[in-house]
Amino acid sequence: MRRSILKPRLVGAASVALACGACLELPPPRDAAVTLEPRDVVASTMAMEAGCVTSGVERCFDALDDNCNGVIDEGCGLETGILQFVVAWTEPVDVDLRVSGPDGAEAAVGETTPSGLLKDRDCKGTVDCHGQNIENVFLADGWPRRGRYRVAVRLEDARDVALPVKVRMSARIGQRVVTAVVVLEERRAEKSYEFTL
């Protein structure tokens, strides 16, 4: 008997369809191997909480699911997928979002990792970000690979800003969104969490 697993492809016009959030529902997995339930979560001094804020309207560049539809900052020009990791901050500092999948490769702008992760925003906290300091990593194609994922938030350059720096970090795993305020208290500080799918 042949098993069929539907694999959404999130490129081109399909990514625009995700802007309406809940209007595009992913089919439930037909195989237990693709269940999107994180386990063995380990976080470094970061309290994760539900990432839904019932404001009714999606606000851009706050790294939150403001309208509680399971998608972070949709309609704001960010790419999304069934895995998405977003950080946003207000100070003119350089914060780096580092995400690696089961293959160990870190997502970078313009380069999809073997596990399908892609970084579509890399903001240095300067005028080129137009006051919208945000970084975004998403699953560009297919279902997430099974294995260990690592998500880190690092203060690359505090410039002359007084510490600590607060960064909003959110993660979408399937239709579940979790969020945390990450407090970076010193230069080159890094806080991370890991989970297994």
Task: Express each pLDDT in 150-179 by its tens digit.
Answer: 999 999 999 999 999 999 999 999 888 889
d(CA 81, CA 86): 12
Average model confidence (pLDDT) for the chain? 80
Amino acid identity for residue 166 in this structure: K
Alpha helix segments (H runs only) across the chain: 13-17
Q: Which amino acid is at 33?
A: A
3-state secondary structure of 177: strand
Q: Is 72 exposed, middle or buried (0-12, 13-18, 19+ CB in 10 A)?
A: buried
Tokens at residue 133, please? 């300091």
Between CA 73 and CA 67 the distance in angstroms is 9
Q: What is the pLDDT of residues 50-82, one digit of tens each?
A: 767 677 788 898 998 888 888 898 889 999 999
> Residue 128's pLDDT is what?
73
Whether 7 has a pLDDT exceeding 60, the answer reads: no
Return the structure tokens found at 29. 């997995």
Radius of gyration of the chain (CA): 16
Strands of the 148-157 sheet, one edge to the other: 39-43, 190-196, 148-157, 94-100
The structure's pTM equals 0.79
Residue type, 51: G
What confidence score (pLDDT) does residue 69 get?
87
